[in-house]
Structure 1
């Protein structure tokens, strides 16, 4: 497996979760992978497909996703194709002929393709070894991007007898269970890694001067690529006109634009011809542009799944990037209006609950990344990220004494309990079937309001001194640091204002002039091959080139992101550019 990874992708080892999913597939087991955005989900089914041989059928909800993936595979020397409604009949026939001749290793299709008898008959004649469901949350009726046509495909592909691999970056417990049931995936074959992204700084800003803030930010990051999400088409057009008036280079994307305009605007953004994209949520799912340095949400999204999916498009190359959420009360009313138009009452109620969680995110004083992690995986051990708005805001209340009391009470109860039970006991409230009055900590904080105790417990949870599993709290081993006076714990005892901004230094300790020249080489290569620049080498790999300045293939081969195919076909141009830079005429 490592040989395939190194040869085609230039990486020496797998990321957490990737190997397990690949092993399940090669053993003929269906599986579900929940990996963070930028966590290498596509590599899981691509390496599996290469190892299995035959054809891997990838079902993808967006045409743009198909094209980007096929471009990336082609750039790595792997035969891949797609079939979609935008192709001409002759192009589709050529792909079908190639499939029947066994020329392709990967075929990408949209769910709607299965409505065609001709296509289903074609599949029956192919050697399908693996079926991959990309953006698998679209299968679930509880997913934020639910596609009924995608759900209907499941029953049509199960009879092929090939293992399935479903991958997504965002899946709540409800979504995960729904996908498992549909694809018959036991718990043992679910691989879920942390959504934690060490390079992302999450920020919340309730500013009333959104336009001014966004313009200032972009001008301060004029060399960087970024996405600005807004809620409506009208706002996309209005913000775009404003940017034009201020001379800010940008492009726009929403479902109301003609298909060819959308495709051209997306291409301009992906190919680094235009640094800023203003868009509705119609843009972005599956966009594999790795060098997006910031994502700004101009309006409040409807749920945390949408927010994380969209914000997570920043920094996929691993470099420091920023995710900024602007919001106002008017945003909440707009989302309530959208929800009110939902026909199914059960789904409408679920959406209301999710919107409430989204609003809570904007008001929490806890770590913002921790809040996201806790939403998707409540059992994960939490620690402050140290980068978000709340972590950078200096806490003003020493809660060490309260922390000792709460931890002592929890330990004396000798079992995991819910937040409400712990609160009642430490406030001196008894229960019908449990008498905790004999505990020395019973009623120890009776003078506190329940909401304040809940806030203290949350601080313990988000700082890693308490863990939560299936709604029950237990003390983490680090709790002894508080109990034995080794640390002091501060918290935001009162509501706080969010005014701090983070300066992101995206490229450090390297020759920036060389980096820009290498980007020019990449762009020239990309234009000659008609593929996006980042599919040749990511910004991260170019950063390493600019830092280490390799001038031989041997030196190039040691750099992350350089595989055997790219070493042969692309690296000579970059070596030549580095040598020219080192010895100018």
Structure 2
């Protein structure tokens, strides 16, 4: 497996969760992978597809994603194609002929293609050895991007004697169980890694001067690529007008534009011709542009799934990036209106999700931790140290209360649910407390002067700082609690919401020759233009940074850099080596 990974994709080792998923597929067993954006989901079906041979059928609800994936595979020397409504008749005939002659290793199709009888009959003639469901949350009726056509595809795919692999970046417990049920995936074959993205700094900004903030931010980061999401087409147009007046290079995307306009504007952004994209949520899902340095939400989305999916388009290359959410009470009213116009059968569920989204804008706990806790309530939390809440100073020293809470939890020995712990701390005369003899503990009633709401706030602070772990609705002390119990480490919390107004900055490159990095970007841009592919399919910013840091002068040195595979070494690296050697000769 590692040999395939290195040869075609240029990586020495697999990321967390990838090897396990690939092993299931190689052993002819279906699996579900829930990996964060930028976590390498596509490799989870591309590597086993190459190992198993034959044809891998990738079902994707996103036309833009298909093209990016196929471009990337072809750039790595892997034969791939896609079938969707964007193809001309002659192009489609050429691909169908290629499939008949077994020219392709990967075929990407949209779910709607299965409505065609001729297509389904054609599939029966192919040697399909793996079926991958990309953006699998779209299969589930509980997913935030549910596509009924995607769900209907499953019936047609059951006839093939091959494993299924479903991958997604965002799946709540309900969505995960729904996907498993539909595809027949057992619990032990679900690989779910943390949604934590250590390179992302999440910010919440409740400013009333949204336009001013966005203008100043974009002007300050004019060399960076970024996305600004607005709630309506009208807002997109208004921001675009301001940017045009300020001569800020940008483009726009919303459903009101013609198909050609949308495709043209998307291409400008993906190919780095326009660094800034202003768009509604019609843009972005499946856009595999790795060097987006910031995502700004001008308006609050309807749920955390949508927010994390959109914000997660920042920093896919692993470099430091920012996700800024601006919100106002007007945003809440707008989302409530959208919910009122939706199907009555799902309105209550949408209202619950909106409440969680509102909670995110109000919480004083770690923002990254809040997102992680939403998707996986059992995951152990720790502060990210870089979000707007982590960077702001807590207003209240709760170290004394923390000592009492942790001491009480330890004395209760077994893991206990939150409400029972609060009852003991408050010294309540409760039957459950007495049944377990907790009223006899020395810690019984230690915090009787506090209300339940206040104790919940203290517990949340300990939870989000990693001192308490909550899984399956039960709380236990984490080993890190010793830092408070023994070392008396200070624990701060808030009684008032944070008013975060700190200026934000981005650091994308450290200890790198920036002049060489910019020259390498020019080489990549020209090469991508010659091949008519997006620049990031040649090499990511991260790989170019490694070039600029290590300055390889031979192919032997370059092959050891992450992101350089055998195919790219032969076809692309000579131009980059020439650039590096020319730079070094001028520097001498």
TM-score of the aligned structures, taking structure 2 as reference length: 0.98
1:459 paired with 2:461, answer yes
1:283 paired with 2:267, answer no
Aligned counterparts of 2:178 and 2:497: Cα–Cα separation in 1: 38
Residue matched to 1:124: 124
Aligned counterparts of 2:23 and 2:541: Cα–Cα separation in 1: 30
Residue matched to 1:491: 493
What SS does structure 1 have at the residue aligned with 2:132? strand
TM-superposed deviation, 1:480: 2.2
Residue matched to 1:51: 51
Aligned counterparts of 2:5 and 2:548: Cα–Cα separation in 1: 24
Residue matched to 1:377: 376
Residue matched to 2:543: 541
What SS does structure 2 have at the residue aligned with 1:203? strand
What SS does structure 2 have at the residue aligned with 1:584? helix
Aligned counterparts of 1:578 and 1:533: Cα–Cα separation in 2: 18
1:72 paired with 2:64, answer no
Of the structure 1 ranges 403-412 and 564-573, higher mean CA displacement relative to structure 2 is found in: 403-412
1:20-31 alignment runs, 5 A limit = 20-31=20-31
Aligned counterparts of 1:433 and 1:198: Cα–Cα separation in 2: 41
Residue matched to 1:450: 452
Unaligned runs of 5+ in 1: none
Q: Deviations over 1:214-249 (max 9, x none)?
A: 010011101000000111111111111111111111
Aligned counterparts of 1:8 and 1:397: Cα–Cα separation in 2: 54
Residue matched to 1:583: 585
Residue matched to 2:386: 387
TM-score of the aligned structures, taking structure 1 as reference length: 0.99
Aligned partners of 2:399 and 2:488 also within 8 Å: no
Aligned counterparts of 2:136 and 2:149: Cα–Cα separation in 1: 12
Aligned partners of 1:427 and 1:444 also within 8 Å: yes
Residue matched to 2:258: 258
Aligned partner of 1:574 among 576, 580, 583: 576
Aligned partners of 2:420 and 2:433 also within 8 Å: no
Aligned partners of 2:84 and 2:113 also within 8 Å: yes
Residue matched to 2:319: 319
Unaligned runs of 5+ in 2: none
Change in Cα spacing, 1:445 to 1:434, as seen in structure 2 (3 Å) is: closer
TM-superposed deviation, 1:396: 2.6
TM-superposed deviation, 1:502: 2.9
Residue matched to 2:176: 176
TM-superposed deviation, 1:207: 0.6
TM-superposed deviation, 1:486: 4.1
Residue matched to 1:506: 508
What SS does structure 2 have at the residue aligned with 1:583? helix
What SS does structure 2 have at the residue aligned with 1:56? strand
TM-superposed deviation, 1:89: 1.2
What SS does structure 2 have at the residue aligned with 1:95? helix
Q: Deviations over 1:144-178 (max 9, x none)?
A: 00000001111110111210000000000000000
Aligned partners of 1:389 and 1:501 also within 8 Å: no
Aligned counterparts of 1:501 and 1:382: Cα–Cα separation in 2: 27
TM-superposed deviation, 1:280: 0.8
Aligned counterparts of 2:586 and 2:427: Cα–Cα separation in 1: 78
Aligned partners of 2:423 and 2:433 also within 8 Å: no
What SS does structure 2 have at the residue aligned with 1:437? helix
Q: Deviations over 1:21-64 (max 9, x none)?
A: 00000101110000000000001100010011000000000100
What SS does structure 2 have at the residue aligned with 1:204? strand
The count of residues paired between Structure 1 and Structure 2 equals 584
Residue matched to 1:233: 233
1:163-562 alignment runs, 5 A limit = 163-345=163-345, 347-435=346-434, 436-562=438-564
